[in-house]
Structure 1
């Protein structure tokens, strides 16, 4: 009788607040591979040199994570956490370099007059920046995907609408990488929270930084493209 009651209580707890099997690695892996490809096709002036070095390091770290958690991200370990954060940091450093180089080139006029190259480079850097922040949100919220799978931290850093409306949400719903990618996209385009609210101060500061980078990058690239196109 007691076991039945416990099972019923557990079923009433939403998936995001209890222990689960962990999310699939597929979406995050695809996003990281996409970032690596974009880094390799960027013009040399916007990439750290040698251009292959950071993408190769990112691919190596991704392979290590894939070995540690090949299907679902549910295995915890200090070394896995450090490698995962290291990979996100390398992507962030490479993206920050590209953003700075692009902004300086636009301000100093050291970019070509080909609007296709300009918009393509700006779009690629904007996409890598968007994905880098999505990875940071995904890694930070409640200790990361593995910690969320084990329900280590009860208080979320980001409040999704599904958490606010449990009666209108599938009880098996829990935030996955696609949700953080959506958060990053809306913040990078609206320059403010939309339907996902930052709850902790670090989450607010990170979203503020992304919005600032996005508005500066987009405004400079668009202004330069309009000037070139006349």
Structure 2
């Protein structure tokens, strides 16, 4: 009797979480919106040599897309239409593509210019940070149909996963870990989970605790890791060159 009672009590938190996933008000808008604002500011502050359009054109367009999405769902991501989905994906793609172009221009400047140059080293940090945000947005928008689908659809109707998180594998571990798993607690990834995934991929240049499952996820993670690797190697080479020049 006592053992059965303990089992019932241990299952109560998981049952409660499972009932409340679809009853939630939706994922908060502000973490992703704040990340986009940071990316916009970083791009607007890049050196002139890393811009391929008027300084405020790309940030202005990104801001218009962001405001449109905020007006559509100001606090919680509870509803989605075809056009709002298109705008969300367009914003993530725009941030990503413009930053990759800036990275290409940065590589050109770092290779061609003389050693030193604090401005370019700072620009490399801006590009790396924006790279993390941009791919986090892409992962967040694409995985399992996006933030609205992940929280509103029953699991059997959620699109196939692009990533396998740690919580997707912990249902058979110790009670206090298993209680928060995807199967027992109906856990779903939020923006911060994709931001962490993007940060570790840009730092380790490979997957860490979250594995890509789909071909597009593997391609995106490969592109992100390659971009981060190029940025890091060029900055290190530049720093070594500057130290060698000062030592001579």
Q: TM-score of the superposition, structure 2-length normalised?
A: 0.82
The aligned counterpart of 2:167 is 162
CA distance 1:140–1:19, change in 2 (3 Å): farther
Superposed CA offset, 1:72-128 (max 9, x none): 112010010011111112111210110110112222x236732x3222110000111
Q: Which runs of 5+ in 2 are unaligned?
A: 1-11
- Aligned ranges for residues 30-179 of structure 1 at < 5 Å? 30-107=34-111, 109-110=112-113, 113-114=116-117, 116-151=118-153, 152-153=157-158, 155-166=160-171, 167=175, 168=177, 169-170=179-180, 171=185, 173-179=187-193
The aligned counterpart of 1:226 is 240
CA distance 1:16–1:123, change in 2 (3 Å): farther
CA distance 1:16–1:33, change in 2 (3 Å): farther
8 Å contact 2:202–2:228 — kept in the other structure?
Answer: yes
Q: CA deviation at 1:21?
A: 3.1
Q: Which runs of 5+ in 1 are unaligned?
A: 1-7
Which of structures 1 and 2 has the bigger CA Rg? 2
Q: CA deviation at 1:181?
A: 0.5
Size of the alignment, in residue pairs? 220
The aligned counterpart of 1:215 is 229
8 Å contact 1:15–1:173 — kept in the other structure?
Answer: no
CA distance 1:19–1:141, change in 2 (3 Å): farther
Superposed CA offset, 1:34-60 (max 9, x none): 001101111011122201000000001
